[in-house]
Amino acid sequence: MIDERGARGSARWRELDRVTGIAGLAATVLLFTPIIAISTLGEPGFNASSEQAADFFRNGDTAWIVAAEATAALGMVAFLWFVAGLTTLLRRAEGEPAWRSTVALVSGALVAAYGVIDASWEAAFNRGDELDSSVAIFAFDFGNLGFANVWLALASFAIASGWALLHGRALAAWWGWWPIVAGAGLVIVRYAWESFAWTVPYFIFWAWVIALAVRLLARPTAREPA
C-alpha cells in the first residue's frame, strides 16, 4: 500500500512537470506570435511622435489585430499556468518556509494579470480610424510604460525562482543563476526604458522559460517521497 501511494505521488509530480513544461512553451508561442505579427504594422519605437502613434493604431484597425491581441492575452493565461506549476515544484524543492516560491508565485501572477487586464492598445486599435493623435500618443505611452513597469514584476519572479532553485538544489546551479541574471538586467533597463537595451534581459528570461520547459518535458524532476 505504501509503495502504491509513493508511485501515485511520483506520477502526479511527473504530470505536473509535463503540464508546466507544456504551459511554458504554449505561453511563449501564444505571446510572441501575435507580437511579431503586430510589429509588421511598422510599430514605432518607445519615443514615437503622436502622429507616428496615430498612424500605427489606424493601420491596426483590422479584424486580425483583434485576434492577435486576444491570442496574446491567452498567452498570458498560459504563462499563469506555467507560474503556478513551476512555483509548486519550487515549493517542494525549497521546503518550508517556502517564501521564495511564494514571492515568485505572486510576482508571476502580477505579470499575467497585467497582460490580461491592460487593454490600452486594444482600445486604440479598436477605433483606430477615429483616433485623434493626442489620444493615440496617450494610449501608446500608457501601454509602453505599463510594459516597462511589468519588467520589475517579471524580474521579481525571475530572481525569486532562481533563488529557490539554488536553495532547493533541484537542478544544476546554472538553472538558478540564469533567471537571476535576467531579472537583475530587467531592473536595470527599467531606468532606461526608451532604449532597446531592454530586449537583452527580456529575451534571456524567455530563453530560460523555453529551456526549462523543454527540460521538464524531457526529464521530469519527480522523485520518490522521502
Which tens digit of pLDDT belongs to each residue from 80-109? Answer: 999 999 999 999 888 888 899 999 999 999
Give the torsion sign (CA, 106, 36, 144, 119): negative
Helices 63-94, 133-168: crossing angle, 10 deg rounding: 20
User: Residue 152: inside a domain, yes or no?
Assistant: yes
CA-wise closest residue to 121 among 48, 53, 63, 75? 53
User: Residue 225: inside a domain, yes or no?
Assistant: no
Q: Is the pLDDT of residue 178 over 90?
A: yes
State which H helix or E strand residue 60 sits in.
none
Cβ atoms < 10 Å from Cβ of 35: 14
Question: How high is the pLDDT of residue 207?
Answer: 97
Cβ atoms < 10 Å from Cβ of 226: 4
User: Residue 224: inside a domain, yes or no?
Assistant: no
Rounded to a whole number of angstroms, the distance between the first and last alpha carbons of the chain is 16
Domain count, the chain: 1
User: Residue 113: inside a domain, yes or no?
Assistant: yes
User: Residue 39: inside a domain, yes or no?
Assistant: yes
Percentage of the chain lying above the pLDDT 70 cut: 92
- What pLDDT, in 10s, does the model give residues 61-78? 778 888 988 999 999 999
Q: Is the pLDDT of residue 191 over 90?
A: yes
User: Residue 226: inside a domain, yes or no?
Assistant: no
User: Residue 134: inside a domain, yes or no?
Assistant: yes
User: Residue 223: inside a domain, yes or no?
Assistant: no
Percentage of the chain lying above the pLDDT 90 cut: 54
Range of the domain at 172: 2-218
DSSP symbol at 43: P
